[in-house]
Amino acid sequence: MQMRKITSLTATLSFIVVLATSVILYIVPQGRVAYWADWRLWGLSKEQWGEIHINVGLLFLLALALHIYYNWKPLMAYLKDRARRMKIFTPAFNVALAICVITVAGTLFTVPPFSWVLDLNASLKDAGAAKYGEPPYGHAELSTLNGFAKKVELDPQAALVRLRAAGFQAADGNQTLLALATLNKTTPKAIYAAMTAGETKAPAGPKALPATAPPGTGRLSLAEMCDTYALDSQALIAALKSRNISAEATESLRVIAERNGMGPVDLYQVIKTAAGSLPVSRTGSGA
């Protein structure tokens, strides 16, 4: 058998698979959304696509290593000058090195065109969240029915009754939403919808800020957050300014956080602390 041919063909085929899985993982919704809605493409889940990407990526690296081994002499020739002397920093090597350095630096400093790729990725993730819906909290599908019901302020027994009335099989409240979804060949999102079907709630007052940032908080604008939790946006902006954090009501928490050198979760905690001393606004945004 001709190992050179096998190595080259393996590297080529595995590269094609890695390229395909890279594109799929680029456009797939955030993990919490994908697991909640049981997102699939060609019958495969996000987790399965990730596993294929990892293993075929490893195969590609091994084939690439063998390819380098079999083509070591030509590769070394690229590192020689016209006098055939070994020289690592040849013009070709310098250009290749510059391309890699610029790509890494451009990504870290989020400058165009590298930031465009990241922004498109974020837009696709946000669109996925809007299309498939967000879970009440991260990895909610791994919670038992009883635990989940308590976290979302439902009566566990009443939720179980509604679930069975909707035609779903459910042994007891100790099964996870994922297990129930798998058993009933549906999604955790559908299980949650059945648990709340027909439920009537008394009108609630302004929502209190949760202890931790709910999923998707980073893409909310400051004004939307203030409307949701009945906060005065102008007072909040002033409170943030006193903490050396610049913000505009129309900006998302992610944008505000990035500009001020912090993460959205850190910014949320600052807002939660500041909100304790803010007046409640009937209009939320303070407009």
Higher pLDDT, 286 or 151: 151
CA distance 96 to 92: 6
Q: Which region among 150-159, 186-195, 201-210 has the lowest average model confidence (pLDDT)?
A: 201-210
Q: What is the mean pLDDT of residues 130-135?
A: 85
Using 50, 70 and 90 to split pLDDT, how confident is the model at 283?
A: very low
Q: What is the mean pLDDT of residues 79-97?
A: 76
> How distant, in Å, are the alpha carbons of 21, 39, 88, 121, 201 from that of 128?
17, 10, 46, 11, 29
Return the closest-CA partner of residue 146 out of 165, 130, 170. 170
Asked whether 176 and 211 are in contact (CB, 8 A), the reply is no
pLDDT bracket for residue 172 (50, 70, 90): confident
pLDDT value at position 279? 59
Mean per-residue pLDDT, 242-257: 89
Looking at per-residue pLDDT, the higher value among 137 and 48 belongs to: 48
- pLDDT at residue 2 above 90? no
Amino acid at 269: Q
User: Where are any strands of DSSP class E within the chain?
Assistant: 40-41, 44-45
CB neighbours of residue 36 within 10 Å = 28
Residues 251-279 have a mean pLDDT of: 84
The first and second tokens of residue 184, run together, are 């009933």
Instruction: List the domain boundaries for the chain.
Output: 3-131, 140-196, 217-275
The per-residue pLDDT for range 191-216, each reduced to its tens digit, is 999 998 866 554 444 567 777 777 77
Q: Who contacts 87 (Cβ-Cβ below 8 Å, separation ≥6)?
A: 79, 80, 81
User: Which has the closest alpha carbon to 271: 238, 215, 151, 207?
Assistant: 238
Q: How confident is the model at residue 285 (pLDDT cuts 50, 70, 90)?
A: very low
